[in-house]
Amino acid sequence: MIKPLPKIVDLSEVDPNTRRGGDLRAMLTPATVGSTSGFMGVAIVQPGDRIGEHYHPYSEEFVYVVCGRLEVDLDGEPHPLRPEQGLMIPMNMRHRFRNVGDVEARIVFHLGPLAPRPALGHVDTEGTETVAAAPADRAQVRS
């Protein structure tokens, strides 16, 4: 039996995923560290931005708010989230994160167990239309 080794992954080593809104970085995954029970990452959400509504048919999602002021819609019902709060989102529950503050928000997320295939683990229930921000501003605004 091969013993897995610990691995440290720096946020700067992970490419941003902005397809669903925000800047999602899946850091500790089967592909990056060989995890077998779930994966962990960080979401960076700029003021006025959001992570589009979706659900996970095979996984629970655990979220910890590091900084910023967010609202999460759970099956359409809004709930405030502030720093140092955690949230467990049950399997199949629709959820959307919105930065309602005036500073960047960061959340750490973990999902488990893994879906049978990565493509089955995330179901989008709305689109996120990107509108380019001013060239000097790296942030993006989403409707």
Grade residue 2 by pLDDT with cuts at 50, 70 and 90: confident
pLDDT higher than 60, residue 7: yes
Closest to 25 in 3D by CA, of 11, 10, 46, 37: 11
pLDDT at 136: 37
Peptide bond into 113 cis (omega under 30): yes
Which one has a higher pLDDT value, 56 or 127? Answer: 56
Half-sphere exposure of 81 (CA within 13 A, CB side): 27
Q: Which two tokens stand for residue 140?
A: 């993006």
* Residues contacting 33, CB < 8 A, separation 6+: 7, 9
Strand, coil or helix: 112? strand
Mean pLDDT along residues 33-51: 97
Q: How far apart are CA 28 and CA 95, in angstroms?
A: 22
- pTM of the shown model: 0.86
Euclidean distance between CA atoms 76 and 94, whole angstroms: 7
| For residues 60-89, average pLDDT | 98
Residues in the chain: 143
